[in-house]
């Protein structure tokens, strides 16, 4: 049995949500209750936290790229 015969089924509901978005015909998905589920301050806080983490990883990676391979040799 080769690797080409192994398949991993993806649940149809996940695939439909991923490709088609939220199905608003199902009660409880989307709408004002869904938007109001998380308070506004928490959305802002999580967004700012994600931005800080993303920028710190980007800055750290960029600084390593900017130094080049000789910086690793000097450091030990």
C-beta of residue 35 within 8 angstroms of C-beta of residue 43: no
d(CA 31, CA 25): 10
Q: Residue 36 pLDDT more than 80?
A: yes
Q: What's the predicted TM-score (pTM) here?
A: 0.51
Query: What pLDDT digit, counting tens, does each position of 2-19 carry?
Result: 555 555 555 566 676 677
* Per-residue pLDDT at 8: 55
pLDDT digits (tens, 9 = 90+) for 43-53: 999 999 999 99
At 63, is the pLDDT very low, low, confident or very high (cuts 50, 70, 90)?
confident
DSSP letter string, 33-73: HHHTSS-HHHHHHHHHHHHHHHHHHHHHHHHHHHH-THHHH
């Amino acid at each position: 049995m080769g690797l080409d015969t192994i398949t991993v089924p993806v649940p149809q509901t996940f695939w439909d949500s991923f490709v088609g978005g939220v199905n608003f015909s199902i009660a409880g998905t989307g709408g004002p209750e869904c938007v109001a589920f998380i308070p506004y301050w928490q959305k802002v806080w999580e967004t700012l936290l994600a931005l800080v983490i993303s920028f710190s990883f980007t800055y750290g990676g960029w600084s390593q790229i900017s130094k080049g391979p000789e910086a690793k040799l000097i450091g030990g």
